Amino acid sequence: MQLRHFLIIFLICFFLRISAQSTASQQVDTFSIEAPQLNVKKKIWIYLPKKYQNSKKAYSVMYMHDAQNLFDAKTSYVGEWKVDEFLDSISENKTIIIGIEHGNEKRIDELTPYPHDKYGGGKGDDYLDFITHTLKPYVDKNYRTKPDPNHTSIVGSSLGGLMSFYAILKHPEIFGSAGVFSPSFWFNDEIYKLVEKTDIPKTSRFYFLMGSDESEEMVPDLEKMISLLQRKGVKPKNIEKLIIEGGKHNEALWSNNFPKAYLWLTKNN
């Protein structure tokens, strides 16, 4: 009887997903690009500002992970971030959004710079090489962008938050700011060692978002990392920390607070 109920629920969820309508804005498009570093072809989602087509202006660019969850309820796992709905509501949006689809079963490999004893992973450098050496050059060539680090940011949540943080440390000449949502600093202590031995530019900017009810370690890990950044000379004005009381590790937390993060990350663009 329980198996029958399970099958009924599964079929309902399956057909609801199949029949779901896309919620992506008309400003959202997709393209595919070879990723030789990962031996795959990557699907990329791109949001162009409403005024892009009728202007000759160049725009800043925000790179984001887990594109399936950013724009469309039909492709999202448990709810979209509604990035496009928010940007459509801004009269003077000056940023192109590049969403990179995760590799499904390879997501852990792609979004972790160091391996975990239990969960594996640790191929984040290949993923980052794809962004910096293949995807970004393609975007800068085919769209009107401001390619300098002051106008290039990278944003993600959970493992994507970890990878965004790693990216700005490894490539400050490319990424000037990072949106680090619910970062999985627990995955490997090597991330702290990297900060200790890295010369962080005074211009690098960090936006940290977290919920108070994610796990016992999350907030202490974040406080530890911020203290380390400050000891390395990062100025308080270049670190923004937002801890949402009662916030949990889910898409709702990241969606509801994306607008604040976006405005802070792009305020100098």
What does each of the 269 residues of the chain score in pLDDT, given as a tens digit? 444 444 454 444 444 454 468 888 889 999 999 999 999 999 999 999 999 999 899 999 999 999 999 999 899 877 899 999 999 999 788 899 999 999 999 999 999 999 999 999 999 999 999 999 999 999 999 999 999 999 999 999 999 999 999 999 999 999 999 999 999 999 999 999 999 999 999 999 999 999 999 999 999 999 999 999 999 999 999 999 999 999 999 999 999 999 999 999 998 77
For the chain, what's the residue count? 269
State the Cα–Cα distance between residues 264 and 158, nearest whole angstrom.
20
Residue 4 within any structural domain of the chain: no
State the Cα–Cα distance between residues 164 and 110, nearest whole angstrom.
12
Residue 3 within any structural domain of the chain: no
**CA-to-CA separations, 194 to 8, 114, 137, 169, 232, in angstroms, rounded:** 49, 11, 26, 8, 12
Residue 253 within any structural domain of the chain: yes
**Residue position matching structure tokens 């919920």:** 211
SS3 153: strand
- Domain at 221, CATH number: 3.40.50.1820
**Ranges of H-type helices in 232-250:** none
Residue 63's DSSP bridge partners are 98, 154
Residue 20 within any structural domain of the chain: no
Residue 73 within any structural domain of the chain: yes
**Residue position matching structure tokens 């920390």:** 241
pTM: 0.91
Residue 9 within any structural domain of the chain: no
Q: Which domain holds residue 128?
A: 25-265
Other residues' Cβ atoms within 10 Å of the Cβ of residue 120: 11
Residue 76's DSSP bridge partners are none
Decide: 156 and 195 in contact? Cβ < 8 Å.
Answer: no
Residue 5 within any structural domain of the chain: no
